[in-house]
Amino acid sequence: TEAAYRERTPTSERIYGELVEDIPAGVASTYRAFEPYPMIIERAEGPYLYDVDGNRYLDFDLNNGAGMVGHSHPAVTDAIRDQLDHGTLFTHPHELLGEAAREIKKRWDVADLVRFTNSGTESTMHAIRVARAYSGRDKLLKIEGAYHGVHDYVLLSKAAPEHKLGHPKRPATYVESHGVPEAIEDTVEVAPWNDLEAVEEIMSENVNEIGALIVEPIVMNVGMTQPHAEFLQGLRELCDEYQVPYIFDEVKTGVKVAPGGAAEYYDVEPDLVTMAKSIGGNYPVGAFAGREEIMRGIEHGTAHYGTYNGSPLVLRAVTTVLRDVLTDDAYDHVNDLGERLVSGYEEIMADVGLNGHVEYVNSQGTVVFANERITNYRDFARHVDVDFHENYWFEMLDRGVLPHPHDASQQWSISVQHEREHIEDHLDAFAEVAPLLAD
Ligand code: PMP
**Of the listed ranges 177-181, 267-271, 414-418, the one predicted with least confidence:** 177-181
pLDDT tens-digit series, residues 118-172: 999 999 999 999 999 999 999 999 999 999 999 999 999 887 655 556 666 778 7
The residue ranges of every structural domain in the chain are 2-68+327-438, 74-325
Distance separating alpha carbons of residues 176 and 160, to the nearest angstrom: 10
List pLDDT tens digits, range 369-388.
Answer: 998 999 998 888 889 999 99
- 121, 193, 215, 248, best to mutate for ligand 1 pocket (most atoms within 8 Å of CB): 121
Q: Using a pLDDT cut of 70, give the percent of the chain over it.
A: 98
pTM across the whole model? 0.97
**Count of Cβ atoms closer than 10 Å to residue 332 Cβ:** 10
- The answer to whether residues 253 and 277 touch, using CB atoms and an 8 Å cutoff, is no
CATH superfamily of 2-68+327-438: Aspartate Aminotransferase, domain 1 (3.90.1150.10)
- Say yes or no to pLDDT of 69 above 80: yes
Give the model confidence (pLDDT) of 5-20 as tens digits.
999 999 999 999 999 9
**pLDDT value for 162:** 58
ipTM over the 0.90 cut-off: yes
Class assignment of domain 74-325?
alpha beta
For the Cβ of 410 lying below 6 angstroms from any atom of ligand 1, the answer is no
Given 249, 271, 379, 398, which residue is catalytic?
249
Query: At 439, is the pLDDT very low, low, confident or very high (cuts 50, 70, 90)?
Result: confident
Please pick, among 37, 277, 360, 392, the residue that the annotation labels catalytic.
277
- b/e per residue, 76-92, with b = 16+ CB within 10 A? beebbeebeeeeeeeee
- Is ligand 1 within 6 A of the CB of residue 214? no
pLDDT in tens, 90-118: 999 999 999 999 999 999 999 999 999 99
Please tell me the distance between residue 128's alpha carbon and the centre of ligand 1 in angstroms: 14
What rounded mean pLDDT belongs to the chain?
Answer: 96
For residue range 202-224, list pLDDT tens digits in order. 999 999 999 999 999 999 999 99
Q: Are the CB atoms for 145 and 161 separated by under 8 Å?
A: no
First-residue to last-residue Cα distance in the chain: 15
pLDDT digits (tens, 9 = 90+) for 417-436: 999 999 999 999 999 999 99
Q: Name the E strands within 41-109.
A: 41-45, 48-51, 56-59
Q: Is 147 a catalytic residue?
A: yes
